[in-house]
Homo-oligomer: A and B are copies of this chain.
Amino acid sequence: MTGKLYGIGVGPGDPELLTVKAKGMLEGAAVIAYPVNRRGEESTAMEIVRGAVDVSGKRVIELIFSMDPDDNVRRRCRSDAVKELAGILDEGQDIAMVTLGDVGVYSTYMYVDEEIKGLGYETEVVPGIPSFCSGAAKARIPLVIGDEGLAVVSMAKNNEASLESALSGFDNVVVMKAWNSMGSLLESIERHGMGKKNATVISNIGMEGEYIGPLDPEREYGYFTTVIVKKGNGDGE
Interface residues of A (CB under 8 A from B): 9, 11, 14-21, 23-24, 52, 102-107, 110-111, 113-114, 117, 123, 125-130, 133-134, 136-138, 140-154, 156-157, 159, 162, 165-166, 168-170, 236-237
Contact in complex: B137, A103 (CB < 8 Å): yes
Tell me how many chains of this kind the complex includes. 2
Instruction: List B contacts of A129 (CB < 8 A).
Output: 19, 102, 127-129
Instruction: List B contacts of A117 (CB < 8 A).
Output: 140
A19-B17, A165-B169 are contacts. A157–B152 as well, Cβ < 8 Å?
no
Contact in complex: A133, B114 (CB < 8 Å): no
Complex-state Cα separation, A139 to B45, whole angstroms: 23
Contact in complex: B166, A104 (CB < 8 Å): no
Q: Of residues A15, A146, A147, which shows the largest number of chain B Cβ atoms within 10 Å of its Cβ?
A: A147
Contact in complex: B149, A102 (CB < 8 Å): no
Since A15-B20, A17-B21, A149-B159 are in contact, a sample of 9 more A-B pairs with Cβ atoms closer than 8 Å, ordered by chain A residue number, is: A20-B20, A110-B236, A130-B133, A144-B154, A149-B166, A150-B151, A152-B152, A165-B169, A169-B169
Contact in complex: B137, A126 (CB < 8 Å): yes
Instruction: List B contacts of A150 (CB < 8 A).
Output: 105, 151-153
Complex-state Cα separation, A236 to B123, whole angstroms: 14
